[in-house]
Amino acid sequence: MKTRFIVLTLIFTVVFSFPAEGQVSKCTDRVRVIQDSSLQRALEQLQEKYPNISFQEDDQPCRQAQDTVRALTRTFGNNHLRRFDGYEFAKVINGEEYFTVERFQIADANRRSALATALKNHWSRKLKIEANTSYEYFASGDSVVIMISSATGREENSRLFQKVQEFMSSLIIKEDK
């Protein structure tokens, strides 16, 4: 019995001493799986720097993608995400608040640019679907990464999202060398 307790304690220690995996949920319905793990690694770095944040897994990332596409289409009056090549999603819990980080991989540079331009030119940075929901974004390689946050906690969430951008940018620069 004592040996079993020691073994279970060792397993528990080993499993929980590594950075949490599975923070990023990937949609595989009619899109390719995003092969690089830059978002996952950026979120791991974020959690190392800010250990008070956590992640909530989502078992329906494709539904989340559809909801976001619908919200952006309604906001811009145009579906810039009619076709995208890959999607991944993470829900970041920041105390009482949360925000989502959604990566749309878009191989076609013109479609990617059209989405980035629409995101940039929308003056309020608020989604029409929910009045208190705002977004920020950045382009990263062949992807556009979008943060969606409620108005409550937006400043802190924006600061954390900027860190995700910094971490992803540094990872892409390292991979290019």
Decide if 65 is inside a domain.
Answer: yes
Check residue 123 and give its pLDDT.
Answer: 79
Q: How far apart are CA 126 and CA 177, in angstroms?
A: 37
Mean pLDDT of the chain: 83
Per the structure, the count of domains in the chain is 1
The model carries a pTM of: 0.82
* pLDDT(2) > 60: no
Residue 148 inside a domain? The answer is yes
Task: Identify which has the larger pLDDT, 48 or 129.
Answer: 48
- 141 within some domain: yes
Contacts of 151 (CB under 8 A, 6+ apart): 132, 133, 134
Domain-located, residue 138: yes
Instruction: Give the per-residue pLDDT at 165.
Output: 95
Residue 14 confidence (pLDDT):
34
Residue at 59 is within a domain: yes
Q: Judging by DSSP bridges, how do beta strands 133-140 and 143-150 pair with one another?
A: antiparallel
Query: Per-residue pLDDT tens for 88-102?
Result: 999 999 988 999 999
The SS3 assignment for 46 reads: helix
pLDDT digits (tens, 9 = 90+) for 4-22: 433 333 333 333 323 345 5
Q: Which structural domain range is residue 92 located in?
A: 22-176
- CA 169, 55, 36, 87 torsion-angle sign: negative
